[in-house]
Amino acid sequence: MYITHRRSYRATGIASHLKLLSIAASCFLTFVGLAIPTIASAADKLTVYSGRAERLIKPVLDAFTAKTGIQIELLSSGTTELVNRMKAEGDRSPADVFITNDAGSLELARTAGLFRPLNMREVERAIPPQYRAADNSWVGLSGRFWIVVYNTTLVKPDQVKSLLDLADPTWKDKIAIPNAGSEYLQAGVSVIRASLGDDQTKKFLEGIRDNAGTQVYQKSSQIVDAVAKGQVGMGIVNHYYVYRHLATQPTAPLAVLMPDQQEGGMGAIMNVAGIGILKHTPRVENAKLLVEFLVAQAGQKMFADLDKEYPLHPEVKADPALVDRKSFRAALVPLTKLAELREPTLLLIEQVGMR
């Protein structure tokens, strides 16, 4: 902040002029001295576009700011909307970093040329290769599994072995599902298609469409709530929605079934939240610091403790309430294939008439 003084005077001699010039020079130097730190501090920030709910990612970003002093400007919106926005903005985008909850969307951003490849030893040491792009242009931060949540008073765990079982007419009006626009549904169906083919996938979609009826929800938390209240017996959600619900309502009659573990089963469907650095950003070093923070053990532990997600760093343990990661198999479809699988999956979902 600076103040401009206005003074009326008569030019009465060289001495007066010299005095005024001295004052002006002093004011100029003071102004420059104040301005330089302002310019420097403007560089100590990052603009993050986030497809994750703000309440889930902001505490982690706040911890990064507390550690580094780098301020975060956070814009939260739908993942597809943000990818389209970054494409439209091009090199003019204010975004430095993109964080979202779906590997398919991260891969779409990579193939669109939005990210810069990262040569970072910290990333390669912390995150196994199956959870990042081949050129490290996006990096997984936390794992999530598409599971069956069931009401323990209405369903016995031995009644369901596979996600496909939910399409059986036995469960008519007894299940809740995500709507057709859900990225979780799209990713999950893509894995089923890649594992079992279009015919079985179509039968699965038709079955859960008919069995869910009107129990179709925009938010996964609504599905968990419907199951907890006994409105339906089961639902399909990412695992952490169940454990967050139980953290606040520990007596809720909820339990998790990790499906498709039988011999010959495809395995549980996995996805990751992840991060990429925009190729045009002038704040590459700040962005790398954020990536390093999020993949390091401290950052990974925050995802585990706060969000009930599975950390990807092999030395960080998940919340003990979660199903032990070593006790079940994941589907073998590579995360990098989710992008190329998406368009035919969307077409199939539309053909079946999912809401």
Q: Output the domain CATH number for residue 228.
A: 3.40.190.10
Structural domain boundaries, residue 109: 44-143+270-323
Q: Strands, DSSP E only, in the chain?
A: 45-50, 71-76, 97-100, 138-151, 175-178, 216-217, 234-238, 254-257, 269-277, 310-311
| Residue 348 and residue 219 share a domain | yes
Instruction: Give CA separation, 37 vs 2, 43, 44, 281, in Å.
Output: 14, 10, 11, 21
Domain presence at residue 71: yes
| Residue 229 and residue 314 share a domain | no
Average pLDDT (4-25) is 38
Residue 23 pLDDT class (50, 70, 90 cuts): very low
Domain presence at residue 235: yes
| Residue 64 and residue 204 share a domain | no
| Residue 202 and residue 121 share a domain | no
Alpha carbon distance 227, 214 (integer Å)? 14
Domain presence at residue 33: no
pLDDT digits (tens, 9 = 90+) for 215-269: 999 999 999 999 999 999 999 999 999 999 999 999 999 999 999 999 999 999 9
pLDDT of 11 above 50? no
| Residue 228 and residue 345 share a domain | yes
Residue 22: predicted pLDDT: 42
Domain presence at residue 21: no
Q: What share of the chain is helix, strand, coil (3-state, %, to 5)?
A: 50, 15, 30
pLDDT of 354 above 80? yes
Q: Please give the tally of structural domains in the chain.
A: 2
| Residue 346 and residue 251 share a domain | yes
Residue 173 pLDDT class (50, 70, 90 cuts): very high
Which residue, 134, 104, 114, 144, is CA-closest to 343?
104
Higher pLDDT, 30 or 315: 315
Q: What is the DSSP string of 222-274?
A: HHHHHHHTTSSSEEEEEHHHHHHHHHH-TTS-EEEE----STT---BEEEEEE
Residue 30 pLDDT class (50, 70, 90 cuts): very low
Domain presence at residue 35: no
| Residue 229 and residue 100 share a domain | no
Domain presence at residue 103: yes
Alpha carbon distance 110, 335 (integer Å)? 13
Domain presence at residue 274: yes
Residue 43 pLDDT class (50, 70, 90 cuts): low
Residue 33 pLDDT class (50, 70, 90 cuts): very low
Domain presence at residue 30: no
pLDDT digits (tens, 9 = 90+) for 44-96: 899 999 999 898 899 999 999 999 999 999 999 999 999 999 999 999 999 99
| Residue 277 and residue 133 share a domain | yes
- In percent, the amount of the chain with pLDDT more than 70 equals 88
| Residue 52 and residue 170 share a domain | no
| Residue 150 and residue 127 share a domain | no
Higher pLDDT, 41 or 193: 193
Alpha carbon distance 41, 221 (integer Å)? 39
| Residue 117 and residue 67 share a domain | yes
First to last CA, the chain: 56
- SS3 state of residue 217: strand
Alpha carbon distance 278, 91 (integer Å)? 9
| Residue 262 and residue 169 share a domain | yes
Residue 10 pLDDT class (50, 70, 90 cuts): very low
Q: Give the number of residues written for the chain.
A: 355
